[in-house]
Amino acid sequence: MTSCFEDIVWQANPGARDTRANNASTEAFSSDRVRDVRKFHRSIPGYRPTPLADLAGLADYLDVGAIWVKDESYRFDLNAFKVLGASYALCQSLQAKLQCDRIPLGAGIRQPAGVRAQLAKITCVTATDGNHGRAVAWGAEQIGCHAVVFMPTGSSPARLENIRRHGAEASIIDGNFDDAVRLAAERAEQNGWLLIQDTARPDYTQIPERIMQGYLTLFDEAFEQIGGREPTHVFIQCGVGSLAASLQAFLLQRFGSRRPMLVTVEPTRAACFYESIAAGDGSAHTVTGGLDTIMAGLACGKPSSLAWNILRDYGDLFVSCPDRAAARGMRVLGNPLPGDRRIISGESGAVTLGLVYEIATDPANHRLRDRLGLNESSRILLFSTEGDTDPQMYRSIVWGDWSPATD
Ligand SMILES: Cc1ncc(COP(=O)(O)O)c(C=O)c1O
């Protein structure tokens, strides 16, 4: 069980800016790819960029130059960013499988008759804490194929129902997230199903890479919305690491050595990237056990191999963060200072803001603050990656009867 006395702990990556030590390729995230991916998402009916909130009041309060928060609760009525990756990977993979130029995606779009019949015979399978599975189910429903989704023990009934609502066969297994990933891979192998998973391993990289490429739209929108005032610091949540590594690759491709500092944030009991960097042997390490945290989307014990290669080489700083920071972030974002926009942010969405708040206000974090060089000229970019994807939990945290367990 998570203890309320757990600290924020961190590890800087000494090799992050050493061009001789860095060899992971980020070519797959080039500006041409950004254009392609954005064009794909623009073709989906209902696409529009999600809002970017400029929290000037909070920035003033915390004595920093700017805080921008991209609000993914507005993403295609799905309440989370995940659909950007799943939709792109699903369409690219089905196009390759059926050898057709384009499989359009969107409510009410009818595929050509021949393609429709082939799609109806295809089953996609995945494992999820909620958001990715919902995104795969949504995509499969719109395209006209089947989806099977496995969730770990302890998954929220609300998140399970949100997946079933899109016609997927979804179930909660006896095991943690990494067990669910293994089960999905086994079923894909046994039944000839299409595995749409965001965790890469050495023999399964193409689809995870497409998912990571799909996230480029999110970053491209954010930098377009910010305009010329580029951030100095970017904080990003980390589960299997696909989102964070995609962002790191985007920043490298766009800004090279002038890129902002990238800080990954994970829950204390599922901090596999933090533990891997701290081990210092260049290898990814797995965290086992119940991966107990309120940040369901980040409760992953095994780093994606593609994500690890990129973050190991370029990620600046890795933070392991207790649940209370996520709760703090949800409360602050949901109750803004005058003039700031209100953001409904779920447990995994709000942790980065909660962390920034704690770094800025708690003297116990002064070493981390100094290491980051956070001061009144810092411009901070954050991503609220989900809204209230479990509304009951959201209320319990924001209205007050949730508190971190004490043992
Ligand atoms: C809301 C939310 N934020 C962040 C993440 C982290 O993404 P990744 O697993 O690619 O690290 C997830 C993953 O499910 C999520 O659901």
Ligand 1 centroid, distance to 401 Cα (angstroms): 25
Out of 70, 82, 178, 316, the active site residue is 82
- Confirm or reject: Cβ of 234 under 6 Å from ligand 1: no
| Cα four-point dihedral sign 191, 196, 198, 204 | positive
- Confirm or reject: Cβ of 267 under 6 Å from ligand 1: no
pLDDT value of residue 403:
85
Q: Which atom of ligand 1 approaches the CA of 132 most closely?
A: 14
Taking a C-beta distance cutoff of 8 angstroms, is the pair 306, 276 a contact?
Answer: no
> What is the rounded distance in angstroms from the CA atom of residue 247 to the CA atom of residue 11?
19
Q: Which atom of ligand 1 approaches the CA of 72 most closely?
A: 1
pLDDT value of residue 5:
55
Burial of 367 (0-12, 13-18, 19+ CB in 10 A): exposed
- Confirm or reject: Cβ of 129 under 6 Å from ligand 1: yes
Taking a C-beta distance cutoff of 8 angstroms, is the pair 299, 289 a contact?
Answer: no
Fold classified for 9-80+215-398:
Rossmann fold (3.40.50)
Ligand 1 centroid, distance to 279 Cα (angstroms): 23
- Confirm or reject: Cβ of 128 under 6 Å from ligand 1: no
pLDDT value of residue 291:
87
For residue 28, what are the contacts with CB-CB under 8 A and spacing of at least 6? 209, 212, 213, 249
Q: Is residue 370 among the annotated active site residues?
A: no
| Residue with CA closest to ligand 1 atom 15 | 297
- Confirm or reject: Cβ of 80 under 6 Å from ligand 1: yes
Residues paired with residue 319 on neighbouring β-strands, in sequence order: 10, 265
- Confirm or reject: Cβ of 245 under 6 Å from ligand 1: no
State residue 103 phi and psi, 5-degree precision: -110, 105
Ligand 1 centroid, distance to 243 Cα (angstroms): 7
Q: Which residue from 385, 389, 390, 393 has its CB within 8 A of the most atoms of ligand 1, so it is best to mutate?
A: 385
Report the candidate in 213, 183, 218, 217 with the shortest Cα–Cα distance to residue 198: 213
Q: Which residue from 149, 199, 243 has its CB within 8 A of the most atoms of ligand 1, so it is best to mutate?
A: 243
> What is the rounded distance in angstroms from the CA atom of residue 298 to the CA atom of residue 319?
13
Q: Which residue from 82, 134, 210 has its CB within 8 A of the most atoms of ligand 1, so it is best to mutate?
A: 82
Taking a C-beta distance cutoff of 8 angstroms, is the pair 208, 200 a contact?
Answer: yes
Give SS3 for 266: strand
Out of 54, 70, 71, 129, the active site residue is 129
Q: Is residue 302 among the annotated active site residues?
A: no
pLDDT value of residue 406:
52
Strands 52-54 and 9-12: unpaired
pLDDT value of residue 2:
37
- Confirm or reject: Cβ of 239 under 6 Å from ligand 1: yes
Domain 9-80+215-398 matches domain 83-203 at the CATH topology level: yes
Taking a C-beta distance cutoff of 8 angstroms, is the pair 305, 201 a contact?
Answer: yes
Report the candidate in 192, 91, 176 with the shortest Cα–Cα distance to residue 127: 176
Q: Along the 407 residues of the chain, how does pLDDT read in single tens digits? A: 334 457 999 999 998 998 887 789 999 999 999 999 999 999 999 999 999 999 999 999 999 999 999 999 999 999 999 999 999 999 999 999 999 888 888 877 777 788 888 999 999 999 999 999 999 999 999 999 999 999 999 999 999 999 999 999 999 999 999 999 999 999 999 999 999 999 999 999 999 999 999 999 999 999 999 998 999 999 999 999 999 999 999 999 999 999 999 999 999 999 999 999 999 999 999 999 888 999 999 999 999 999 999 999 999 999 999 999 999 999 999 999 999 999 999 999 999 999 999 999 999 999 999 999 999 999 999 999 999 999 999 999 999 878 887 53
Fold classified for 83-203:
Rossmann fold (3.40.50)
pLDDT value of residue 1:
35
SS (H, E, C) 42-110: HCCCCCCCCCEEECHHHHHHCCCCEEEEEEHHHHHHCCECCHHHHHHHHHHHHHHHHCCCCCCCCCCCC
Going from N- to C-terminal start, the domains of the chain cover 9-80+215-398, 83-203
pLDDT value of residue 4:
47
- Confirm or reject: Cβ of 238 under 6 Å from ligand 1: yes
For residue 210, what are the contacts with CB-CB under 8 A and spacing of at least 6? 85, 88, 89, 92, 93
- Confirm or reject: Cβ of 241 under 6 Å from ligand 1: yes
